[in-house]
Amino acid sequence: MKNLKIAIQKSGRLNEKSVQILKNCGLVFENYKSSLITSVANFPLEILFLRDDDIPGYVEQGIADLGIVGENVIDESEAQVSYIKRLGFGKCTLKLAIPKDSTIEDLKDLNGKAIATSYPVILKNFLDEYNINADIRLISGSVEISPGLGLSDAICDIVSTGGTLKSNGLKPFADVRRSEAILIGRKGLEDNHILCELVQRIESVLMAKETKYVVLNVEKKNLSAVTTLLHGVKSPTIVPLAEEGWVAVHTVISEDDFWEKINRLKAAGAQGIVVMPIEKIIM
């Protein structure tokens, strides 16, 4: 069976986490900063290191079979690729932003205005959806300085913490598109068995990241109050303790409502709660 090729970002915001997720899947490879391609020693995969903007096109054309890239970059490229798995990192939102003292109040106020962006395709689609006719000005970097320079009335750019907008005297105005890193594949590859194996491994890594392994002690009289709060992988494991009338409960708790659940467990009589990270969950 022929090796698959996966394209990931060579350097930049998604590089480290893309490498990490593949390593957490048990893949052994050197992260050569200087080379374009590296082989995985223990899995039929080669890794290409590319500019993120090139990844959707490479996958569409079949030069790479798979890619890890932000959804914003895929939409902007309009490449025809399959969305395989959201990866939970690189989260950000493409937003419209305006100067703090701008008179723009409503989307329709953007009619006839100039908007600077590096995402003309996504912005055009968004404006068309709302029947807004604005002048889109393509700027490849430092979009946030363009209103201050008198080049535009608004911008459309990626926002994560909001710090860049604030330090440039801008305020968010409307969300255009949420984005996160996603595994994409060339069309027709969906049933490939190397891909299915990789996706299964990615899913166990993601599931493990979203959960914690918890061990707690509880008096038997409080056990049912504690177990009703727990919905682990299956039902919790209950082990008797040396001390008469006490048991240890082992379970898995999701990261989402972690603190709320821990507090409710304590209120229900749980003691000596130990929380451990999970490496993988294989269902």
Interface with ligand PRT (CB under 6 A): 9, 12-14, 51-53, 70, 72-73, 90, 92, 157-164, 179
Nearer to Zn ion, 139 or 273 (CB): 139
Tell me the Cα Rg of the chain: 24
Q: Give the amino acid at 67.
A: G
280, exposed or middle or buried, with CB in 10 Å at 0-12, 13-18, 19+? middle
- Given Zn ion, ligand PRT, none, residue 22, with its beta carbon under 5 to 8 Å by kind, binds none
Cβ at position 208, least distance to ligand PRT in Å: 23
Cβ at position 252, least distance to Zn ion in Å: 38
Asked if 142 is part of the footprint of Zn ion (rule: CB under 5 A), the reply reads: no
Q: What's the per-residue H, E or C state across 118-174?
A: CCHHHHHHHHHHCCCCCEEEECCCCHHHCCCCCCCCEEEEEECCCHHHHHCCEEEEE
- Given ligand PRT, Zn ion, none, residue 164, with its beta carbon under 5 to 8 Å by kind, binds ligand PRT
Cβ at position 101, least distance to Zn ion in Å: 32
- Given Zn ion, ligand PRT, none, residue 179, with its beta carbon under 5 to 8 Å by kind, binds ligand PRT
Nearer to Zn ion, 53 or 279 (CB): 53
- Given Zn ion, ligand PRT, none, residue 168, with its beta carbon under 5 to 8 Å by kind, binds none
Scan residues 15-54 and list those touching Zn ion (CB under 5 A): 52-53
Question: What does the CA dihedral 39, 44, 50, 56 come to, rounded to 10 degrees?
Answer: 170
Nearer to ligand PRT, 77 or 227 (CB): 77
Strand partners, 39: 46
Task: Specify the DSSP element, H or E, that contains 277.
Answer: strand 271-277
User: Cβ of 238: how many Cβ atoms within 10 Å?
Assistant: 15
- The DSSP output letter for 3 is P
Cβ at position 117, least distance to ligand PRT in Å: 10
Strands 66-70 and 114-117: unpaired
The CA distance from 104 to 98, in Å, is 8
Cβ at position 13, least distance to ligand PRT in Å: 4
Cβ at position 84, least distance to ligand PRT in Å: 16
Q: Which residues make up the interface to Zn ion (CB under 5 A)? A: 52-53
